[in-house]
């Protein structure tokens, strides 16, 4: 695994890039168990006479026991893969030291396949940390919806996209929650809260990345030694 940065390392630690169902199936077929064809011998076996027979010579077929010869190389048994798996383990253990909701926030941001659980916990984390106490009840209800949009906007930013503008936020919050905000009054009604939410999200992001950066720095120092 290349250690370019904490965000990349987080994503790469959650999956094996070279592993695929098709690839595994093809390799399994190529390295399938091969059995040597059984060989037959005929042996003459002498049994003691029974009754009126003085002696009975009976030829019996005896089959040599066939042993399956398995010629299989375990998928990806290589130094590179072993190193990749070891690094995955180190990053995952580092992530595991974080509080649960911060872990979930990080998975929302960087997991290759984020789940609804990740989304819900990321929203819950930012909701708990954001100061919404000064808002009216009506505005606070819309602010809860705005948190989801702020998370998606920040996620777009860290991937090189632009921060969402008022029109995009108003459109998505209405289509997702059925809640209306007027983008024409964005500066007056929502911009301060939007900027504050982004700051809270950024701090959570820094916290989530911290133990992963520690692993990266330790690995680079070890390599340089």
Q: What is the mean pLDDT of residues 193-216?
A: 97
DSSP character string of 39-82: -EEEEEEEEE--TT-SEEEEEEEEEPPP-EE---PPTT-SHHHH
Examine residue 66 and state whether it is found in any structural domain, yes or no.
no
Q: Is residue 50 included in any domain, yes or no?
A: no
Q: Higher pLDDT residue, 216 or 27?
A: 216
pLDDT band at 76 (very low <50, low <70, confident <90, very high): low
Q: What are phi and psi for residue 166, nearest 5 degrees?
A: -55, -45
* In a domain? residue 210: yes
> What integer pLDDT is reported at residue 86 of this predicted model?
87
Decide which of 89 and 126 is more confident.
126
Residue 142 in domain: yes
**How far is the C-alpha of 106 from the C-alpha of 95, rounded, in Å?**
9
Q: Is residue 116 part of a domain?
A: yes
Q: Tell me the C-alpha to C-alpha distance, in Å, between residue 182 and each of 134, 140, 150, 203.
A: 20, 15, 16, 28
* Inside any domain, residue 90: yes
Q: What is the pLDDT of residue 57?
A: 47
* For range 93-117, the mean pLDDT: 96
Residue 214 has pLDDT above 60, yes or no: yes
| Structure-block tokens of residue 14 | 């959650």
DSSP H stretches of helix in the chain: 6-12, 21-30, 79-96, 100-110, 116-129, 137-158, 166-177, 186-189, 191-224
What is the percentage of the chain residues whose pLDDT exceeds 90?
Answer: 62
Residue 44 within a domain: no
Residue 41 lies in a domain: no
* Greater pLDDT, 186 or 219: 186
Residues 6+ apart with CB under 8 A from 203: 129
Residues 183-210 have a mean pLDDT of: 97
Q: Which domain holds residue 133?
A: 6-15+81-224
Distance CA 3, CA 6 (A): 8
In three-state secondary structure terms, 35 is: strand
CA–CA gap between residue 194 and residue 176 (Å, rounded): 18
Coil vs helix vs strand at 189: helix
Number of domains in the chain: 1
Dihedral of the CA atoms 26, 28, 29, 34 (nearest 10)?
A: 160
Q: Is the pLDDT of residue 47 over 50?
A: no
- Compute φ and ψ for 179, nearest 5 degrees: -105, 135
């Amino acid at each position: 695994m290349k250690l370019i940065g904490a965000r990349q390392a987080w994503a790469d630690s959650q999956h094996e890039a070279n592993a695929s169902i098709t690839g595994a199936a093809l390799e399994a077929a190529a390295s399938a168990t091969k059995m040597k064809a059984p060989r037959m011998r005929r042996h003459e076996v002498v049994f003691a006479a029974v009754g009126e027979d003085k002696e009975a010579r009976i030829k019996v077929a005896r089959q040599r026991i066939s042993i399956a010869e398995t010629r299989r190389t375990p998928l990806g048994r290589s130094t590179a893969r072993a190193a990749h798996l070891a690094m995955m383990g180190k990053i995952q253990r580092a992530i595991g030291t974080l509080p649960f909701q911060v872990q979930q926030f990080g998975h929302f941001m960087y997991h290759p396949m984020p789940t609804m659980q990740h989304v819900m916990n990321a929203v819950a984390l930012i909701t708990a940390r954001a100061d919404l106490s000064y808002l009216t009840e009506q505005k606070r209800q819309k602010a809860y919806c705005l948190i989801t949009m702020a998370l998606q906007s920040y996620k777009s930013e860290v991937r090189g996209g632009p921060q969402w503008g008022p029109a995009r936020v108003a459109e998505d919050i209405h289509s997702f929650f059925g809640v209306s905000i007027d983008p024409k009054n964005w500066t007056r009604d929502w911009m301060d809260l939007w900027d504050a939410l982004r700051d809270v999200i950024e701090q959570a992001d820094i916290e989530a990345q911290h133990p992963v950066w520690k692993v990266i720095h330790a690995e680079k120092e070890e390599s340089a030694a």
